[in-house]
Structure 1
Amino acid sequence: MNNHQRSASGAKTPDVKLVVMGRMGVGKSALVVRYLTRRFIWEYDPTLEFSYKHQTLVDDDVVSMEILDTAGQLYGDNRRQWEGHVRWGDGFLLVYSVTDKQSFHDVGRMKEFLDEAKKPRNVTAVILANKMDLKHERCISTDEGEKLAQELSCGYFEGSALLGDGVISEAIEELCREVRRRKMMENRTRRRSSSQMAKQVFSRVLTKIYNS
């Protein structure tokens, strides 16, 4: 199943809302387009944001998602806009390029920003190291990426938007899986809390009846 479209007002609320974040030039748009269309496009306008709707199978379930491909830098003049993105999103794909050390360091800053904005809820995030095809330009090792992911409590994947090696789908679908798992746990907690409150109210009513 590979249908996708730009988001439209009035559309059904997606099961999962994903935000793709990363420094300019790491290949965020190329990753998203590769995932949605299985094609690679060389040139993008880094100042434009797009939101896409998509359906796919995750663990044999049809999952509808909305993917926000962000533009610009996290610590620019649009901090309020970034905070809106964070509040909107359920899961976050944090992208860096294995050829760009600054983009690697930015991942830690992004996760810190997410943790602060989402507090007290836990942030569901996956790190994707892009541009694995540029082996001769690589300056961030797998060990460094895995260590960072462990420190930030994130899943970790390495792939290439150019090669389309299947890792992009794995990363996004694992992120969907974690978001759905967290939502199920939150729903169970809310149901238990509601049930306990109902029992307490019923108990108080019975106590008043017996004492009247």
Structure 2
Amino acid sequence: MTANVPLSEEEKTAVANYVADQEPIDIKISVIGAHGNAHGSGSLARLTRRAFPQQIKANLDGGYEMTVQVAEHPVTVDLKMCIGKTYIASSTILEPYLRGTDGFLLVYDVTNRDSFEFLRTAHTKAFGYRETGKPVWVYGARTDRPQMERMVSVEEGEEFCQNIHAKFLRVPAFTAQVLGQAVIEEMTGRAIVSKMSREAASVARREKLSKDLSSADPTPRQRGFSISSLKDKLLNRK
């Protein structure tokens, strides 16, 4: 699944029907970045707050959440913060972020080369050995900084996104331009499609397992299996 392709009309209809049937809905997006200093101008937390200034609030898990209206229904978007090399280096820590999320937001600061290179490593380690089927967005922060201060060009950011089939989002540092409502709704809709696909795959696996078990011949039930009969057989063997 790719985040750089707008939702089709068919997908929009499916999302609208899903949110109408499933309310309330909780969507999880893992936010991955290099910096954990909560007070630094380039920290992951501050860059995330800057992107959604009127939308988000802190939650008890150390992340953020916001409510987005989709087809006139409220959807809670939980932004799970995945900060620094510790998460990427440990598969035990990283696995819940891969398995339990509906999309990924990769964040870097254009004035910090290391933050961009971290995303290259993070993407390779997190996604390189598997096809997650989940949308990925790349958020390049402070894109309005003077050219002499930029360590990562816009072209590099766009090329990285093309290579990983991600949507490129740019957020200036000093202007009022943030991720607009249309972008946020598109992200939420794409994450819902990801959630729907994962749930459908889970149902299909359960149905296949049930079918395989029921078609096995003979089954314990067909042979009149019971705990007492098993006990008798074991006693007779002695």
Query: Against the structure 1 CA distance between its residues 125 and 97, is the aligned structure 2 distance closer, same or farther, given a 3 Å change threshold?
Result: same
Output the CA distance in 2 between the equivalents of 1:96 and 1:141.
12
Query: Match for residue 191 of structure 2?
Result: 179
Look up the match of 1:132.
143
Of residues 127, 131, 153, the one that matches 2:165 is 153
Q: What pairs up with 1:1-212 in 2 under 5 angstroms?
A: 15-24=26-35, 26-38=42-54, 50-58=62-70, 60-74=72-86, 80-116=92-128, 119-136=130-147, 137-160=149-172, 162-167=174-179, 172-191=184-203
Cα shift at 1:131? 0.8
Q: Which moved more, 1:18-27 or 1:69-78?
A: 69-78
Unmatched 5+ stretches in structure 2: 1-22, 56-60, 217-238
Q: CA deviation at 1:149?
A: 0.3
> What are the Cα deviations for residues 41-75 of structure 1, in whole angstroms up to 9, with x where unaligned?
xxxxxxxx822232112454421121123333356
Indicate the SS of the match to 1:15: strand
Going from structure 1 to structure 2, the CA distance change for 1:124 and 1:187 (only over 3 Å counts) comes to same
User: What's the CA shift for 1:35?
Assistant: 4.6
Query: Does structure 1 retain, via aligned residues, the 8 Å contact 2:87–2:93?
Result: no
SS in structure 2 at match of 1:50 = coil
Q: Which residue identity is paired with 1:156?
A: F
User: Which residue of structure 1 lines up, in the alignment, with residue 235 of structure 2?
Assistant: none
Question: In the TM superposition, what whole-angstrom CA distance separates every residue of 1:75-103 from its partner, at most 9, and x where no partner exists?
Answer: 67766333333333221110111112222
What's the RMSD between the two structures over aligned residues? 3.6
Check whether the contact 2:88–2:125 (CA below 8 A) recurs between aligned residues: no
Shift of residue 192, structure 1, vs aligned partner: 5.6
Structure 1 residues 189 and 15, CA gap change in structure 2 (3 angstroms): same
Aligned length in residues: 184
Bigger Cα Rg? 2
- The 8 Å contact of residues 31 and 168 in structure 1, kept in 2 or not, is answered as no
Secondary structure of 2:85's aligned partner: coil
Provide the TM-score with structure 2 as the length reference. Answer: 0.60
Q: TM-score, normalised by structure 1?
A: 0.67
Contact kept, 8 Å, 2:32 with 2:107, in 1: the verdict is yes
Of 105-114 and 24-33, more deviation after overlay is shown by 24-33
SS at match of 1:165: coil
1:20 to partner: Cα distance: 1.2
- Report the 3-state secondary structure (helix = DSSP H, G, I; strand = E; otherwise coil) of the residue aligned with 1:107: helix
